[in-house]
Amino acid sequence: MFEISKRDGLARLGKIKTNHGALDTPTLLPVVNPKILTLSMDELKECGAQGLITNSYIIYKNSELKKVAEEKGVHGLLNWDGPIMTDSGTFQSHVYGEIDMQPDEILNFQKKIGVDIGTVLDVFCEPETRFEDAKKELEETQRRIEESDKNKGSIFLAAPIQGGRHLDLRLKAAEMASQTNAEVFPIGGVVPLMEKNNFEKLAEVIIAAKKGLDISRPVHLFGCGHPMLFALASFLGCDLFDSSSYAKFASRDSLMFTWGTRNLEELEEFPSEFSAAPDITVNQLKAMEKKQRQKIIAKHNLIVSFTEIRRVKQAIHDGLLWELVENRLRTSPALMKIFSILKREMDWISEFEPAYRYKTPIKTGNESDDRPIFSKLANSFKSGDMVHPYFGKVPNHLSETYPFHPGLLQDDIEGWKMQDWNVDRVQTILDYQFGKGIGKILTKGETDLVVSRKTKRLRNLLLNGEHVASLSHRRGMFILQKKGAELIHKSSKSPKFRVIVDADTAEFNRKGKSVFCKFIEDIDSDLRCMDECIVVTPDDQLIAFGKLLVSPKELGLGQQGMAVRVRSGIKS
């Protein structure tokens, strides 16, 4: 039900397929109260909503709403034809105390009214809850998840991850929930942290949960509806967000922006484009009747939110999410504290780092120095004629290779110039990409460099007349071909460079079929997502080669789907 199309570290672009259409993630599900509609369904779609979230408890407890929902379904009640997720009443118990509802009762109601994603009635664990009490509450939540898992029917089940501020309980909750068949994992009990601007603890809680979750399933950050948090939450691996903040903030004349919230009374001018009502001024908005003004502000808040969602998606496409996150974190002292959390967790975060991104990485401040790409490669070369502002001395032979290629920094790289193609340059790139010594192995013999007459760029590397590798002009690194895969296999020992697959499925890969996660028995732990790799059987027979699409860490956390896009199989 969850297909991932692109990754940028922990962030991913995906698609959740439901009975009422797909949700392209990351995305926001606006909260809709069926008793109080601030915006119409058409207006929600106009703002960018693909799906909604509403509260099954509120519907169940209102006899009129319940009757319509049972007759027409929740989609008929809301007049919405897209995906609908329902909460279970847990948040009402947090706000108002214990509710008169049993877990199986509310689950059966969610099934009856045809929701796409229904939520377990978990126990809301307050951040201040002591460890022993939080542990007991977690045990009850897990019991409810397991019972609901057996009785979910055809709906997708959302299994909340609780545990309060206790990170070890969050990890345990995630591991236990991952043993069930629940389709979505909401991280719950975090609204109080966001209300108090305790973003440091929020980041810790998300990371603790992600460390234990089955990574193949989407993660929902309950109650996250402020645009200044979407980039960070996506960066940490969250796929779904929801909140009624767009309407709640509007009710008190508060406008949301990516850098914070401002009350209408504070404004003399709109600090950014006000597309909810582009022809009005601040003073005209202030003079409006409250209901009309509230509607316009709510629409503004939602438009800003979905604009930021699209900005996050584009950043994932470009491989520039790090840069966007760093910019967002610098908008407030509370968010700045998260840099210390990221630095502390950098070893774990780096395990999800791809081998390359589609755009040249950019430093946006001193905190950028802690990023894996910069901390690992800065001053890693003992000599080099090119002086890069990020990486220090770099061999000129790598002048067009990721991440040293100039991008926007061409005028700032001392000594940078396009290099002629020769065997020494090819060997330098191969050693950098695959490890010291591989350059000589792949060029030992009669080497022929096929260079484009028009662009003067290297196209192919041939050895004794056989195709060894091609050069990617986008990243200045090599793409293995059959002879190159054979030479790397022959010159290295298992598991180096290898993805080891089940012997029973090996013939499919020999025929050029891609490798799927569930058939991998072992993998070189030094490989990274987007690396070139070779595919072998358990007895080390070379059967294929291609590009790795997941990291070894993701495989360990239960990632599903395609693992290696096979470029070609190799016949025995």
Catalytic annotation, residues: 87
User: Rounded to the nearest 5 degrees, what angle is found at the Cα of 29, between the Cα atoms of 336 and 25?
Assistant: 75
Residues 50 and 29: their CA atoms lie apart, in Å, by: 8
Residues 265 and 424: their CA atoms lie apart, in Å, by: 66
User: Rounded to the nearest 5 degrees, what angle is found at the Cα of 171, between the Cα atoms of 106 and 528?
Assistant: 115
Q: How far is CA 85 from CA 59, 113, 326, 562, in A?
A: 13, 11, 31, 28
Tokens of 149: 């898992």
Residues 214 and 173: their CA atoms lie apart, in Å, by: 12
The residue to which tokens 């998260």 are assigned: 338
Helices (H), 197-289: 199-212, 230-235, 245-251, 282-287
Residues 275 and 299: their CA atoms lie apart, in Å, by: 9
The SS3 call for residue 505 is: helix
Helices (H), 213-256: 230-235, 245-251
Residue spans of beta strands (DSSP E) within 345-384: none
Residues 89 and 96: their CA atoms lie apart, in Å, by: 10
Q: How far is CA 201 from CA 90, 189, 234, 241, 513, in A?
A: 21, 12, 16, 18, 44
Residues 406 and 403: their CA atoms lie apart, in Å, by: 8
Residue spans of beta strands (DSSP E) within 492-550: 498-501, 515-516, 520-523, 532-536, 542-548
- Give CA 525 to chain center in angstroms: 21
